[in-house]
Amino acid sequence: MSNAYQPDWDLYTCHIDDHPAIIGLDLDLRRFAPLNSKPHAIYVSVYLNTPRADGFPQGDEFQVLGEIEDSLVKGLETHLNAHFVGRTISNGVRDFYFYTGDTTLYDKHIADVMIAFPEYQYDFGLKDDRTWELYFDFLLPDKVEIQRIQNRKVLRTLKQHGDIEEKARHIDHWIYFATEEHRELYWQKISKEGFVVQQRSLSGNAERPYSLHVSRHDRTDEASINAVVLMLFELAQAINADYNGWETVVVNR
């Protein structure tokens, strides 16, 4: 694993087999996976004892599931050098996913953990997954959802610094294009939405060297940010451009 790797855990909601679900995963792995040294996927399924009607845990089971997770991660990392990549909760089942290069006695190591939780039924399994299909095609959300997650990260930081989300303020956005023509086409589409050009320039991005820095005054509640950012993001996707994020200042008075 590169020294540039930094675990980046987050979660999002979706549906699995028509049931509401929450998926948590390490997003930074997408920059480095698949790891050739860990071609085997291990899953452990733990069945909730008292799920809510929607299939999610309630009461003390939140804490117990956290304890099971910590114990599985410690056990499989210690004995198999396994890498914990994600978890799901849906339809009364919590699933944990790992990748490893060593599968020796993996079933015993799982059983050694679960013996401390005799009130919980569980299943487990192993599959060859050299391309990390489980991670990329099942756990990893689509690009739009990844952008929503990135938005929430920025919003959490703003909130931690006392930001007043109801107050509109200057927000900067950056987009990168393959051609100058695409950049001007994009600007024509958003210029009617109240954006202001801060800078047109050439960047060091070989694939998309033409950059556009625009701004607008907006609020920082999640609905407002998602509306503006996803509009810019989806317009960029439509012409093979790269929406590269947003920045703003904290407004706390």
Residue range 218-227, pLDDT digits in tens: 999 999 999 9
Do residues 246 and 198 make contact, with C-beta atoms less than 8 angstroms apart?
no
Instruction: Supply the pTM of this predicted model.
Output: 0.89
Comparing 9-139 with 143-248, is the CATH topology the same?
Answer: yes
pLDDT tens, residue by residue, 174-198: 999 999 999 999 999 999 999 999 9
Q: CATH 3.30.70: does it fit domain 9-139? A: yes
d(C-alpha 40, C-alpha 124), whole Å: 13
Taking CA atoms, 23 is separated from 16, 43, 50, 79, 204, in Å, by 10, 14, 20, 26, 35
* Residue found under tokens 């023509």: 181
pLDDT tens, residue by residue, 41-72: 999 999 999 999 999 999 999 999 999 999 99
Q: 143-248: CATH homologous superfamily? A: RraB-like (3.30.70.970)
User: Which among 235, 233, 143, 228 has a CA at the least distance from the CA of 185?
Assistant: 235
What are the domain boundaries of the chain? 9-139, 143-248
